[in-house]
Amino acid sequence: MTNPFDLSNRVAIVTGANTGIGQGIALALAEAGADIACVGRTPAEETVAQARAFGRRAEIVSADLSTIAPVGRIVDETVEKLGRLDILVNNAGIIRRADSLDFTEEDWDAVIDTNLKSLFFLAQAAARHMVAQGRGSIVNIASLLSFQGGIRVPSYTAAKSGVAGLTKLLANEWAAKGVNVNAIAPGYIATNNTAALQADETRNRQILERIPAGRWGEASDLGGAAVFLASDAARYVHGHILAVDGGWLAR
């Protein structure tokens, strides 16, 4: 019987693949058989080396997703280097923290441009290729704040709420064209983006008390969800936002 989770002979773009969630997902896809284009401002040399250790092809595609300028080149360079494109993981993102009374336009625009605008236009560029070949999978990285409000992160909450909405809209438009669009909503994952929360003794304690699993998540905890959504096992899954949160939303 064919393994529906097997990603052999597929090529995935993973943005923000140099560290954290992006690295964890890239390596999970590679272990499942996919070749990886690691996209980001910082060269993902460690991720590439580990993916190649699994016997996969892996390439660095340098791009700054604070603007949409590189999105077409990212797709073209991936196809040029790796021969095709089957999977896009839209993970690249930033966060800015401040009270909403003091939040600046600069911090608003920076987060919206990277986390929402570039995500949409890279999905568009990838989907044009995927629709032409009749199949593909797009996995957006949403957030618990796609469901909740959070505090002191207004532009991040707005962007991640937008990611959830776009995931559903794009699924509505592209499902019949052979392209699956879904999202993962990570819970509290120990990464650079959450370092400030981990370092805040009071906030860290409050977070842990709320998580039924009793621990912060690790980037590798998202790998199985990403492999599932990128694989044939999810061929009839469209527009879904899969929370990987240690039970946070259940409490």
pLDDT at 6: 98
Domains of the chain are 11-242 (3.40.50.720)
Q: What is the pTM of this model?
A: 0.96
pLDDT at 195: 87
Is 156 considered catalytic here? Answer: yes
Whether the Cβ atoms of residue 27 and residue 223 lie closer than 8 Å to each other: yes
pLDDT at 1: 65
Count the alpha carbons within 13 Å of 41 in the hemisphere toward its beta carbon. Answer: 8
Q: Identify the burial level of 106 via C-beta atoms within 10 angstroms of its C-beta, where 0-12 means exposed, 13-18 middle and 19 or more buried.
A: exposed
What is the 3-class SS of 67-130, one letter each residue? CCCCHHHHHHHHHHHHCCCCEEEECCCCCCCCCCCCCCHHHHHHHHHHHHHHHHHHHHHHHHHH
Closest CA to 122 of 186, 65, 60, 180: 65
pLDDT at 192: 83
pLDDT at 43: 94
pLDDT at 156: 98
Which among 44, 137, 156, 221 is annotated as catalytic? 156
Kindly give the confidence (pLDDT) of every residue in the chain, 251 residues in length, as a single tens digit, with 9 standing for 90 and above.
Answer: 689 999 999 999 999 999 999 999 999 999 999 999 999 999 999 999 999 999 999 999 999 999 999 999 999 999 999 999 999 999 999 999 999 999 999 999 999 999 999 999 999 999 999 999 999 999 999 999 999 999 999 999 999 999 999 999 999 999 999 999 999 999 999 988 788 889 999 999 999 999 999 999 999 999 999 999 999 999 999 999 999 999 999 99
